[in-house]
Amino acid sequence: MTPKPSDDLAGTFARLGGADDGPVWSALWDDLCHQESVYDDSFLALPYLAAIADGRAPGAPADAVLMAGLVMSAADDERTARYADEVAVLLPTARRLLDTEGGDASTFLYYLQCVLAFEGDRVWSAGRLEGLREQEYEIECPSCWSDLFIVFGDDGAFASAGDPVTVDDPPKAALFPADPAALAPLPARLHRTATRAGHEDVARGLTYLFGRATCPDCGDVFAVSDRVEAC
């Protein structure tokens, strides 16, 4: 059975539906997910967020889905089971928003991570797709532990031993993007979803995220996604 949220939390959610809900949502984010951190009390908001998502309570479904997605990205097995009813409500709303309101890459990736969180993924739902928006990941080489930047933007695609923005002419080495036809099931699905939504830069970035890189310092070749997952 889902725990009953506190009266203070109930009071804050009761303020939604007015002329300006922005400050209310800001207060909820500050209290429940400050700086995108998830706490024990964050999960107590899920019944309210689910009610907003399917129209049983006032408030914006988009805001509810984004907050609930962040919360569920940190759920353990016990909480996943406890809040299964709420997730069953949130998931179709997140899928609808992904299809209808994911017009820019940032919004698309946020909704995509929410869908993954509600489906039970605890790796790529937890902010790890957001490097696709910046077209850059900062990782460590698994062999020599050098700090590396995986870059796949307008200036090319490469692994850099040092931030290419702040370091003059850092050592660079090749990236090897994955063949979309050879991707594992989840990356392949993400690639199809991005392609169908018209986010070609995201789809391209996924081939680098799930491809391989060469360390410019030691020459080791490794799977980029393994190092992103380890962060």
221: phi > 0 → left, psi -120 to 50 → alpha, else beta; which? Answer: beta
User: Is the model's pLDDT at 4 over the cut of 70?
Assistant: no
What are 97-135's pLDDT values in tens digits? 999 998 899 999 999 999 999 999 999 999 999 999 999
Would you say how long the chain is, in residues?
231
User: Is the model's pLDDT at 7 over the cut of 80?
Assistant: no
What are 188-225's pLDDT values in tens digits? 999 999 999 999 999 999 999 999 999 999 999 999 99
User: Is the model's pLDDT at 59 over the cut of 60?
Assistant: yes
What is the residue-averaged pLDDT of the chain?
A: 94
User: Is the model's pLDDT at 31 over the cut of 50?
Assistant: yes
What are 65-89's pLDDT values in tens digits? 999 999 999 999 999 999 999 999 9
What are 153-191's pLDDT values in tens digits? 988 999 999 888 888 889 999 999 999 999 999 999 999
Confidence band for 1, pLDDT divided at 50, 70 and 90: very low
Q: Which residues contact residue 88 at a Cβ distance below 8 angstroms, ignoring those fewer than 6 apart?
A: none
Strands 221-223 vs 136-140: parallel, antiparallel or unpaired: unpaired
Q: Which residue is associated with the tokens 């479904």?
A: 61
Q: Which two tokens stand for residue 98?
A: 């992904």
